[in-house]
Amino acid sequence: LSSWSAKSLSFAGRLLLIKTVITGITTFWCSTFILPQACVKRINSLCGVFLWQGNIEQHHTARVSWEVVTKPKREGGLGIKNLSIWNKACCLKLIWLLFFQSGSVWVAWFKTEVLNGNLSNLWITPPNRRYSWQVNKLLKLSSEIFSCVKLRVQNGQSCLFWSDNWSPYGSLRSYLLDGSASTLGIPDHATLATLHINNNWMLPPARSERLVNIHALLTTINLNEIEDYYEWEVDGKVSDTYSMGKIYEKICLAGASVPWCESVWNKAGIPRHSFLTWLFVLNRCPTRDRIRGWGFQTDT
> Residue 36 interacts with DNA (CB under 7 A)?
yes
Listed residue (149, 145, 181, 186) closest to 165, CA to CA: 149
| Encoded amino acid at 110, one letter | F
Q: x/- string (CB under 7 A) for DNA, residues 88-127?
A: ---------------------------------------x
Site size with DNA, rule: CB under 7 A: 29
Minimum CB distance to DNA smaller for 71 or for 150: 71
- Report DSSP state, residue 25: H
Contact pick of 20, 67, 266, 292 for DNA (by CB under 7 A): 67
CB 190 to DNA: min, Å: 26
> Residue 289 interacts with DNA (CB under 7 A)?
yes
Contact pick of 58, 143, 157, 174 for DNA (by CB under 7 A): 58
Contact pick of 63, 189, 196, 215 for DNA (by CB under 7 A): 63
> Residue 38 interacts with DNA (CB under 7 A)?
yes
Contact pick of 60, 210, 246, 250 for DNA (by CB under 7 A): 60
Give the interface segment with DNA, choosing from 59-67, 95-103, 107-115, 183-191 (CB under 7 A): 59-67
Minimum CB distance to DNA smaller for 64 or for 151: 64
Give the interface segment with DNA, choosing from 31-39, 145-153, 191-199, 206-214 (CB under 7 A): 31-39
3-class DSSP state for residue 149?
strand
Give the DSSP per-residue string, 239-281: ESS--HHHHHHHHS---PPPTTHHHHB-TTS-BSS-HHHHHHH
* Other Cβ atoms within 10 Å of 107 Cβ, number: 17
Give the H/E segment covering residue 229: strand 229-234
| Encoded amino acid at 70, one letter | T
3-class DSSP state for residue 194?
helix
> What is the Cα–Cα distance from 144 to 262, expressed in whole angstroms?
31
